[in-house]
Amino acid sequence: MKLGILVNTDKHPGDISGIAKSAVSKGHEVVIFGMDDGTKLLGNTSFTELCNTKGVTMSYCDHSAKGKGVSTEGVPKEISSGSQYDNALMAHEVDKIIIL
* pLDDT per position as a tens digit, 7-45: 999 999 999 999 999 999 999 999 999 999 999 999 999
Q: Where are the domains of the chain?
A: 2-99
Question: Pairing state of beta strands 96-99 and 79-82?
Answer: unpaired
Distance (Å, rounded) from C-alpha 6 to C-alpha 27?
20
At residue 45, the pLDDT reads 93
What pTM was estimated for this model as a whole? 0.95
- Residue 59: φ, ψ to 5°: -150, 170
Fold topology of 2-99: Hypothetical Protein Ychn; Chain: A, (3.40.1260)
Contacts of 79 by beta carbon, 8 Å cutoff, 6+ apart: 42, 48, 51, 58, 59, 60
* pLDDT per position as a tens digit, 38-93: 999 999 999 999 999 999 999 999 999 999 999 999 999 999 999 999 999 999 99
Distance (Å, rounded) from C-alpha 58 to C-alpha 32?
5
